[in-house]
Structure 1
Amino acid sequence: MIYQRSFILIALATSLSLVIADTTSICYSFGVDYTDERSYFINSLSTDDFTSVSYFQGCNQGVADVLFVNPDDIEYLCSQIPTTPENELQLSTCPIKKNQMGSGHWLLLILGNNGDGQPFAWQRDLYLTVGPQATTTYTPTATFSITTTPMIAQTTTTTSTDIITTGPLSTVTLPSGTAKRTKTITPPATTTTSTKTMTKTSLTLTKNFAVTTKTVTATCTTPGRPGRPDKPCRYSPTLLHPDALVTPTIIPKLHRFIRKSDREVDYEWARARVEAAKARRDVKAQEAAAPLERRAPDAPVLTVTLDTPVNTTTTITAPATTTTESVLLTTTSTSTLPPATVFSGLFTQTITLPIPTKTKVRFTYATTTKTITFAATLTKTKTTTPTFSVTACKKLGGHFW
């Protein structure tokens, strides 16, 4: 029984030690998606609520209030976020949509009591450019490359001669006597034609164009964890009156507060508001002189890829190729036999020669068609983003563009 009581007392002491706050601790806040003294682009076409992600270090168990202040000092009380566990990302949602916001110098205040420790009030200065997201349209293009080879025809000429023999056209009669000559008759030549066929190839081109779609899941891009905490709050809010601004001077080395009277606090609050207003006017003047850098979490430009691609053809000219073609020319040569001699009263022997044969070559051309098919495939990438992934990514302070 004594042992059981001792065990209960030890367990109770242990649990009490876990909840006892460190009265000297300083609770620091860090911005993730929006960090102090940075410029950002906000899509005015978005109906999403403005959200911010923070994490904490050195805090007692408790919650932090988040206050969002526009350039006209209108305050929006956002959802509370826990300050523990340490280094865990916490998402706060503000009651203003992005399409209700305007460009200028905004403030994000992180306020809390830090349990029984030192209260805190931190500030992030954000320079926001609010405008419609521009859209660029991209038309995918598939290019076909064709190589053509020009042809140069070189002609060689071959000439054939047809010899025509005629006659005799007259007869010579000699006095009677012994025939010493033989009459020779040459019959006309018979011509045969030999045909040689030359083949030419004609090319036709056929394009085969295909489009395939590849679906991928978008990945979340996170900004990482900055190593610099938020700076002390210089703005005096009206919706909340944090203890850290009631006792505004914190000396970390001594880990103590300097308490002031209500009159002193009211005076310092008024002075702080004047200084904050002046600082914000100076920032507005700088913004007018130099454009703001547009960064995450909203993309200034949205690129849209058209569904119907276009295809073009480029022609590459190769060095010329020379071909040789033969051309046949025919000429005619006529020869006349001498007059035939006839011996009157005597027998004349006549010899008929065999019929001569001539061969003529003729060229003809035949054309064949060869079809060349060349193909190109365009792969489109379609990115899908599940709704639950968007929510999870936003909690990490990330984005999908």
Structure 2
Amino acid sequence: MISSRSFLLTAFSALLSVVSADTNSICYSYGVDYVDENSYFINSLSSDPFTCVSYFQGCNSDVADVLFVDPDDDEYLCTQIPTYPDNELEMSTCPINKNQMESGHWLLLVLGNNGDGQPFAWQRDLYLTVGPQVTSTYTPTVTFSITTTPIVTQTTTTTSTDIITTGPLSTVTSPSGTAKKTKTVTPAPTTTTSTKTMTKTSVTLTKNFAKSTKTVTATCTTPGRPGHPDKPCKYSPTKLHPAALVTPTIIPKLNRFTRKSDRQVDYEWARARVEAAKARRDAKARDGAQLERRAPDAPTTTVTYDTPVNSTTTVTAPTSITTQSVLITATSTSTLPPVTVLSGVYTQTITLATPTKTKHKFTYATTTKTVTFGATFTKTKTVTPTASVTACKRLGGHFLS
């Protein structure tokens, strides 16, 4: 037996649901990741099931059926989604994988009874291009910059003079009995070498190239709430027979007694229809419909090579001038005057100091200077946790690769 307290609670709940339900409410559906009258790319290399995200406004507490229709009118009954509360993002999963789909005009039907309110049947026209995702490879380039300085050598001349003194070339004999004369003897000269050392610097360039990897977590890109409600359904499904197609939902006309909130919804619906019509006209004017950037699948994904190409650029600095000495040797010869020798008498000999001559000599000492120049290439590796992918899908978003 049911207790009186349980009976009262049940009755109160039923009464509350009747009071909270709006029998005149119109339940509007909005696409998030796939919006009515837009074109999208589907990656045929993906084995993921097709999913779509919607939100609702003005609905009673109930669920909506989602039907996915391919260009050949084959129907796929997707998972149901709740229609209450307002503006909550709800994801429906369809029993068809992306690699089983084909290009063409697809339909998404959102159907429901709206509790005790007016039944609804909304339609999203989607133009899908199904194909393999193209992989674009990017080879990064690292440029090394070095500076070279031209060197111009100026020459200065240094003259080293060797002075050679030679003995007398002749002897003069004086008559016997003359005064005693002095004979001067000059020793052979000695040579002293003066060495000057000059330093030359040789520059060796060493290129240093380093690589590092930085790991970041991918960021989910969400389209937000586009604000374009779906249009009334024109397609007659075979797997479902919604009451809204038997008695189509009527958009109430505006009058001065219409509530402000209802007028706002109706204005949004009408404005969305005008924008959709403009989008269709623009698509026909272009050569093929362009794909929406917010589509979950991107037509092209970019892969960055691990090893970049490196090149070297040379910058020429102002000219540097160095001075180098060059030795020129000159010889100067002097001859002593004739020596007078007295015949038959003792001749006194005077030996002069030994003359010296200085010879200059240049030598070179070479030192090597090593200059190291380089650069570091940092590759950013993006990781996407599985849990993040699921959460992103439920928001109607996608990860940029």
TM range (shorter): 0.7 to 0.9
Identity across the alignment (%): 76
Aligned residue number for residue 68 of structure 1? 68
Q: How many Å separate the matches in 2 of 1:196 and 1:109?
A: 99
Aligned residue number for residue 57 of structure 1? 57
Residues 237 and 202 of structure 1, relative CA distance in 2, 3 Å threshold: same
Q: How many Å separate the matches in 1 of 2:309 and 2:344?
A: 101
CA-CA distance at 1:319 after TM superposition: 1.4
Q: How many Å separate the matches in 2 of 1:288 and 1:188?
A: 108
Q: Is the 8 A contact 1:206 1:371 kept in 2?
A: yes
Q: How many Å separate the matches in 2 of 1:71 and 1:30?
A: 22
Q: How many Å separate the matches in 1 of 2:68 and 2:187?
A: 123
Deviation sequence 1:152-207 (CA, Å, 0-9, x none): 11111111111212231222223335237533222222111121111122222233
Q: Is the 8 A contact 1:68 1:94 kept in 2?
A: yes
Q: How many Å separate the matches in 2 of 1:337 and 1:167?
A: 5
CA-CA distance at 1:250 after TM superposition: 0.9
| AA matched with 2:121 | A
Aligned residue number for residue 322 of structure 2? 323
Q: How many Å separate the matches in 1 of 2:232 and 2:179?
A: 150
Residues 294 and 254 of structure 1, relative CA distance in 2, 3 Å threshold: closer
CA-CA distance at 1:12 after TM superposition: 5.4
| AA matched with 1:380 | K
1:41-56 matched pairs, under 5 angstroms: 41-56=41-56
Q: How many Å separate the matches in 2 of 1:67 and 1:364?
A: 95
| AA matched with 1:390 | V
CA-CA distance at 1:347 after TM superposition: 4.2
Q: How many Å separate the matches in 1 of 2:33 and 2:230?
A: 13
Point out the more displaced range, 90-99 or 144-153: 144-153
Q: Is the 8 A contact 2:120 2:248 kept in 1?
A: no
Q: Is the 8 A contact 1:205 1:372 kept in 2?
A: yes
Q: Is the 8 A contact 2:102 2:129 kept in 1?
A: yes
Q: Is the 8 A contact 1:147 1:317 kept in 2?
A: yes
Q: Is the 8 A contact 1:27 1:56 kept in 2?
A: yes
Residues 42 and 8 of structure 1, relative CA distance in 2, 3 Å threshold: closer
CA-CA distance at 1:92 after TM superposition: 0.7
Q: How many Å separate the matches in 2 of 1:16 and 1:177?
A: 171
Structure 1 residues without counterparts, runs of 5 or longer: 256-278
What is the TM-score with the length of structure 2 in the denominator?
0.85
Aligned residue number for residue 17 of structure 2? 19
Q: How many Å separate the matches in 1 of 2:315 and 2:369?
A: 20
Equivalent pairs, count: 371
Deviation sequence 1:98-121 (CA, Å, 0-9, x none): 112222222111111111210111
1:292-303 matched pairs, under 5 angstroms: 292-295=290-293, 296-303=295-302
Q: Is the 8 A contact 2:160 2:358 kept in 1?
A: no
Q: Is the 8 A contact 2:113 2:120 kept in 1?
A: yes
Deviation sequence 1:67-103 (CA, Å, 0-9, x none): 1122232222211111112211111111221112222
Q: Is the 8 A contact 2:30 2:228 kept in 1?
A: yes
Deviation sequence 1:333-365 (CA, Å, 0-9, x none): 223333322233444433211001222221100
Structure 1 segments of 4+ aligned residues over 6 angstroms from their partners: 7-10
Deviation sequence 1:243-264 (CA, Å, 0-9, x none): 1111125142499xxxxxxxxx
Secondary structure of 1:78's aligned partner: strand
Aligned residue number for residue 364 of structure 1? 363
Q: Is the 8 A contact 1:179 1:347 kept in 2?
A: no
Structure 2 residues without counterparts, runs of 5 or longer: 256-276
Residues 10 and 179 of structure 1, relative CA distance in 2, 3 Å threshold: farther
Aligned residue number for residue 270 of structure 2? none
Secondary structure of 1:16's aligned partner: helix
Aligned residue number for residue 382 of structure 1? 381
| AA matched with 2:397 | G
